[in-house]
Structure 1
Amino acid sequence: MTAAGGTRNFRALFISDVHLGSKGCQAERLLDFLKHHEAEHIYLIGDIVDGWQLRSGWYWPQSHNDVVQKLLRRARKGARITYVPGNHDEFLRDYYGTHFGGIEVVETAIHAGADGRRYLVIHGDLFDLIVTQARWLALLGDKAYEVAIAANRIFNAARRRLGFPYWSLSQWAKLKVKNAVNYIGEFERTLADEALRHGAEGVICGHIHHAAIRDIFGMRYVNCGDWVESCTAIAEHADGRLEIVTWTDPARSGFALVAPPAARAA
């Protein structure tokens, strides 16, 4: 449903992998997304803050602070906000059951869809063997990913100057690698099995930065994507339908960005 001023209203929004505190975070796009999308319940499904990056070097521009303030204002205005930490914001796992400014921190959640389907809400890193069994390799991979995202920013800056829309070079390359595709498939199956173990009919997760809505062995698998590469979120309509909302070039859909990506703090 679209209200006056171009705001879309949903029953629930699901957002993951924002990575506030990292240079790859597209905070301005998320701010603009939140400006145009309202929901009764907002789920923050892990890696909202990138503690790994912040430990290696402090980076917190105003736009990142604005995202936090925007969410806190939503909570004050009555939106229910549930925060399920991931591996990059694992420091919050010590605070399960705590409320910060109206935002509740939980280990997992069960979301009851308007259509009667029950979804397990979980970040998903605990089912990633690299994260759980080879943390050093995960940290090394994080550094390599940071380099790829930097290259992606340069690539898209050139595209903008030529008048082309945003396109994720790093995500395209990732999906062209057979091992990455196999990893995504295995991750999806594992999370679907975990949802079944919880007595749910679906799972809504993040972690792998690849938005999806699909049925796997009778289970609904939903991934929010991220706000580093794809700029996607999941929205639940009043009738329970789920939609992937992509917010890479809102201006081309009749919306205007709060600030162009080139204006981000270095």
Structure 2
Amino acid sequence: MKLAYRTVWISDVHLGTRGCKAEFLLDFLKHVECECLYLVGDIIDLWKLKTGWYWPPLHSDVLRAVLDKVKKGSRVVYIPGNHDEFFRDYAGSLLAGVEVMEKAVHETADGRKFLVLHGDEFDGVVCTSKWLALLGSEAYDLLLFLNRLFNQFRRKLGFPYWSLSAYLKHKVKNAVNFISDYEKTLIHAARDEKVDGVICGHIHHAAITDMEGLAYCNCGDWVESCTALVEDFRGALAVLHWADESAYLLTEFELEDRANKRRLAAAN
């Protein structure tokens, strides 16, 4: 079963780390078709790869699935983030059919214009204290490790994936305040660009919110929540939670398959 969208945005995949949910993303890319795919930063985690090489075959499969979108006619736009900032040197270039940009302006089917960027340039810690950002990244990796152990235990009990790390992060007052300030700063950037809203990543918190008359949209991530931002062919935007959606699709496929088998058995 395929899901068709006009546009899809994904960010914060962090290929090259153990926390990356590559199996979910690969499943997503196989089931979703789109005219345009935006990769909104931190797709490959070069920060982590510098400290130790981790690259299982599944991570290469994800890159191949993205390039397969290009071969099938989808426009793919790559906007590097802070963890893959190396590729910002190639802004304005075409790499294997993928357009590399520092930022973009996307027009939806209903005529709205959105500023698309990763968002790290509006994070004071990343901009002024990179060492602190690196330390925070290590602490975050530890939280994701605990999250993996937690979900291994849930799977043994027959429960679906649930992000303990995301739940804890958004229960912390400082994290909530940081997210609120970040959203407001991005909205001001959108107003300066005279657009209708902003689409970003960076903070691993998927959202679609109206703020000060403009739309704030965040793609989320593929290390905790497995989310993407999607636009349908009327221009409506939505957050797709793939961990939930894939389970639904599997159930629908199984029901259809069983119905087909019953029809074949009745015919025979």
Q: Name the TM-score, length of structure 2 as normaliser.
A: 0.92
Residue equivalent to 2:126: 131
Aligned partner of 1:50: which letter? D
Deviation of the 1:199 alpha carbon: 1.3
Q: Give % identity.
A: 55
Aligned partner of 1:168: which letter? S
Match of 2:193 among 190, 195, 198: 198
Residue equivalent to 2:7: 12
Q: Is it true that 1:106 corresponds to 2:101 in the alignment?
A: yes
Deviation of the 1:251 alpha carbon: 4.9
Q: Is it true that 1:22 corresponds to 2:17 in the alignment?
A: yes
Deviations 1:29-78 (A, max 9, x none): 00001111110000000000000010000111101000101111110111
1:255 is paired with a residue of what secondary structure?
helix
Aligned partner of 1:100: which letter? L
Query: Counterparts of 1:186 and 1:144 in 2: how far apart (Å)?
Result: 22
Gaps of 5+ in 1: 1-5, 257-266
Aligned pairs for 1:2-151 within 5 A = 6-151=1-146
Aligned pairs for 1:166-181 within 5 A = 166-181=161-176
1:12 is paired with a residue of what secondary structure?
strand
- Alpha carbons of structure 1 residues 173 and 196: separation in structure 2 relative to 1, 3 Å: same
Aligned partner of 2:240: which letter? V
Deviations 1:164-194 (A, max 9, x none): 1111111100110111001000000100110
1:222 is paired with a residue of what secondary structure?
strand
Residue equivalent to 1:259: none
Query: Counterparts of 2:36 and 2:175 in 1: how far apart (Å)?
Result: 32
Residue equivalent to 1:155: 150
Deviation of the 1:249 alpha carbon: 4.2
Deviation of the 1:250 alpha carbon: 4.4
Deviation of the 1:157 alpha carbon: 0.5
Deviations 1:187-207 (A, max 9, x none): 001001101111111000000
1:82 is paired with a residue of what secondary structure?
strand
Query: Counterparts of 1:251 and 1:205 in 2: how far apart (Å)?
Result: 24
2:202 is paired with a residue of what secondary structure?
coil
Aligned partner of 1:213: which letter? I
Query: Counterparts of 2:154 and 2:132 in 1: how far apart (Å)?
Result: 33
Query: Counterparts of 1:254 and 1:9 in 2: how far apart (Å)?
Result: 13
Aligned partner of 1:242: which letter? L
Query: Counterparts of 2:237 and 2:69 in 1: how far apart (Å)?
Result: 21
- Alpha carbons of structure 1 residues 251 and 13: separation in structure 2 relative to 1, 3 Å: closer
Aligned-residue Cα RMSD (Å) equals: 0.9
1:23 is paired with a residue of what secondary structure?
coil
Aligned partner of 2:154: which letter? R
Gaps of 5+ in 2: 252-268
**Counting helix residues as a fraction of each chain, which structure ranks higher?**
2
Aligned partner of 1:106: which letter? M
